[in-house]
Amino acid sequence: PVTRAAFEEALRLYPPAPSINRAAISDDSWTDAKGERVDIHAGMTVLIMPWTLHRHELYWEKPRAYMPERFLPENRGKIGRFQFLPFGAGPRVCIGATFA
Ligand code: HEM
Protein backbone atom coordinates (compact mmCIF):
# COMPACT_ATOMS: atom_id res chain seq x y z
CA PRO A 1 0.00 0.00 0.00
CA VAL A 2 2.83 2.46 0.77
CA THR A 3 4.55 1.83 -2.58
CA ARG A 4 1.25 2.20 -4.44
CA ALA A 5 0.48 5.42 -2.55
CA ALA A 6 3.91 6.86 -3.46
CA PHE A 7 3.36 5.89 -7.12
CA GLU A 8 -0.10 7.45 -7.20
CA GLU A 9 1.07 10.66 -5.51
CA ALA A 10 3.87 10.91 -8.08
CA LEU A 11 1.26 10.46 -10.85
CA ARG A 12 -0.84 13.20 -9.24
CA LEU A 13 2.00 15.74 -9.16
CA TYR A 14 3.61 14.73 -12.45
CA PRO A 15 0.99 13.09 -14.68
CA PRO A 16 2.84 11.72 -17.74
CA ALA A 17 -0.24 12.58 -19.83
CA PRO A 18 -0.79 16.22 -18.80
CA SER A 19 -3.60 16.72 -21.35
CA ILE A 20 -6.41 14.46 -22.58
CA ASN A 21 -8.11 15.77 -25.71
CA ARG A 22 -11.52 15.10 -27.22
CA ALA A 23 -13.46 16.43 -30.22
CA ALA A 24 -17.11 17.04 -29.32
CA ILE A 25 -19.39 15.02 -31.62
CA SER A 26 -22.48 17.03 -30.66
CA ASP A 27 -23.48 20.17 -28.75
CA ASP A 28 -23.23 19.86 -25.00
CA SER A 29 -22.66 22.00 -21.94
CA TRP A 30 -20.75 21.74 -18.72
CA THR A 31 -21.18 23.56 -15.43
CA ASP A 32 -18.04 24.37 -13.51
CA ALA A 33 -17.54 24.19 -9.75
CA LYS A 34 -18.69 27.81 -9.37
CA GLY A 35 -21.94 27.11 -11.23
CA GLU A 36 -20.88 28.83 -14.45
CA ARG A 37 -22.16 27.16 -17.60
CA VAL A 38 -19.79 26.53 -20.50
CA ASP A 39 -21.35 25.75 -23.90
CA ILE A 40 -19.54 23.18 -25.99
CA HIS A 41 -20.39 23.10 -29.70
CA ALA A 42 -20.03 20.12 -32.03
CA GLY A 43 -16.53 20.02 -33.49
CA MET A 44 -14.90 21.91 -30.63
CA THR A 45 -11.78 20.43 -29.09
CA VAL A 46 -12.04 19.93 -25.34
CA LEU A 47 -8.83 19.66 -23.33
CA ILE A 48 -8.97 17.93 -19.96
CA MET A 49 -5.82 18.80 -18.04
CA PRO A 50 -4.89 16.28 -15.34
CA TRP A 51 -1.91 18.45 -14.39
CA THR A 52 -4.23 21.36 -13.47
CA LEU A 53 -6.92 19.16 -11.96
CA HIS A 54 -4.36 17.30 -9.82
CA ARG A 55 -3.10 20.57 -8.34
CA HIS A 56 -6.45 22.30 -7.95
CA GLU A 57 -7.09 23.93 -4.58
CA LEU A 58 -10.79 23.08 -4.75
CA TYR A 59 -10.01 19.37 -4.72
CA TRP A 60 -6.78 18.86 -2.82
CA GLU A 61 -5.48 19.87 0.57
CA LYS A 62 -2.01 21.40 0.15
CA PRO A 63 -2.08 20.56 -3.57
CA ARG A 64 1.60 21.24 -4.20
CA ALA A 65 2.84 19.11 -1.31
CA TYR A 66 4.03 15.54 -1.78
CA MET A 67 1.74 13.64 0.61
CA PRO A 68 1.49 9.97 -0.40
CA GLU A 69 -0.74 9.29 2.60
CA ARG A 70 -3.60 10.76 0.55
CA PHE A 71 -3.57 7.50 -1.36
CA LEU A 72 -3.33 5.06 1.54
CA PRO A 73 -6.33 2.68 1.63
CA GLU A 74 -7.98 4.51 4.55
CA ASN A 75 -7.95 7.82 2.62
CA ARG A 76 -8.32 6.62 -0.99
CA GLY A 77 -12.13 6.67 -0.86
CA LYS A 78 -12.15 10.45 -0.38
CA ILE A 79 -10.63 10.98 -3.84
CA GLY A 80 -13.34 11.42 -6.46
CA ARG A 81 -13.22 9.30 -9.63
CA PHE A 82 -12.87 12.36 -11.86
CA GLN A 83 -10.47 14.36 -9.72
CA PHE A 84 -7.50 12.04 -10.32
CA LEU A 85 -7.05 11.14 -13.99
CA PRO A 86 -3.50 9.92 -14.67
CA PHE A 87 -4.92 7.11 -16.81
CA GLY A 88 -7.98 8.95 -18.10
CA ALA A 89 -11.51 7.62 -17.52
CA GLY A 90 -14.46 6.19 -19.37
CA PRO A 91 -14.47 3.95 -22.44
CA ARG A 92 -10.93 5.02 -23.49
CA VAL A 93 -9.33 4.66 -20.07
CA CYS A 94 -5.74 3.39 -20.19
CA ILE A 95 -5.75 -0.38 -20.63
CA GLY A 96 -2.22 -0.52 -19.18
CA ALA A 97 -3.02 1.18 -15.85
CA THR A 98 -2.75 -1.95 -13.73
CA PHE A 99 0.34 -3.05 -15.63
CA ALA A 100 1.93 0.40 -15.11
C1 HEM B 1 2.36 5.47 -16.00
C2 HEM B 1 2.09 4.87 -17.16
C3 HEM B 1 0.92 5.24 -18.04
C4 HEM B 1 0.17 6.37 -18.07
C5 HEM B 1 0.27 7.62 -17.20
C6 HEM B 1 -0.83 6.18 -19.11
C7 HEM B 1 -1.81 7.11 -19.43
C8 HEM B 1 -2.82 6.90 -20.34
C9 HEM B 1 -3.93 7.80 -20.59
C10 HEM B 1 -4.18 9.14 -19.89
C11 HEM B 1 -4.71 7.26 -21.55
C12 HEM B 1 -6.03 7.83 -22.09
C13 HEM B 1 -5.78 8.73 -23.28
C14 HEM B 1 -7.10 9.37 -23.70
O15 HEM B 1 -8.14 9.18 -23.04
O16 HEM B 1 -7.10 10.10 -24.70
C17 HEM B 1 -4.09 6.01 -21.94
C18 HEM B 1 -4.58 5.17 -22.91
C19 HEM B 1 -3.97 4.00 -23.28
N20 HEM B 1 -2.91 3.40 -22.67
FE21 HEM B 1 -1.83 4.16 -21.13
N22 HEM B 1 -0.65 4.96 -19.67
C23 HEM B 1 0.39 4.34 -19.05
C24 HEM B 1 0.87 3.08 -19.30
C25 HEM B 1 0.38 2.22 -20.25
C26 HEM B 1 0.87 0.87 -20.48
C27 HEM B 1 1.95 0.19 -19.65
C28 HEM B 1 0.16 0.39 -21.54
C29 HEM B 1 0.23 -0.94 -22.22
C30 HEM B 1 0.86 -1.99 -21.72
C31 HEM B 1 -0.76 1.43 -21.96
C32 HEM B 1 -1.64 1.32 -23.01
C33 HEM B 1 -2.62 2.23 -23.34
C34 HEM B 1 -3.55 2.09 -24.46
C35 HEM B 1 -3.59 0.96 -25.48
C36 HEM B 1 -4.40 3.19 -24.42
C37 HEM B 1 -5.55 3.52 -25.38
C38 HEM B 1 -6.84 2.93 -24.87
C39 HEM B 1 -8.02 3.29 -25.77
O40 HEM B 1 -8.02 4.37 -26.39
O41 HEM B 1 -8.97 2.50 -25.85
N42 HEM B 1 -0.60 2.52 -21.15
N43 HEM B 1 -2.95 5.82 -21.19
Q: What is the pLDDT of residues 38-80, one digit of tens each?
A: 999 999 999 999 999 999 999 999 999 999 999 999 999 999 9
pLDDT at 20 over 90: yes
In the DSSP assignment, the letter for residue 35 is S
Q: In ligand 1, which atom is closest to the CA atom of 22?
A: 16
Distance, in Å, from the CA atom of 75 to the CA atom of 55, rounded to the nearest integer, reads 18
Instruction: Report the pLDDT value the prediction gives residue 33, as an integer from 0 to 100.
Output: 75
Distance, in Å, from the CA atom of 11 to the CA atom of 59, rounded to the nearest integer, reads 16
Residue 30 alpha carbon to ligand 1 centre in Å: 25
The residue nearest atom 19 of ligand 1, judged by CA position, is 94
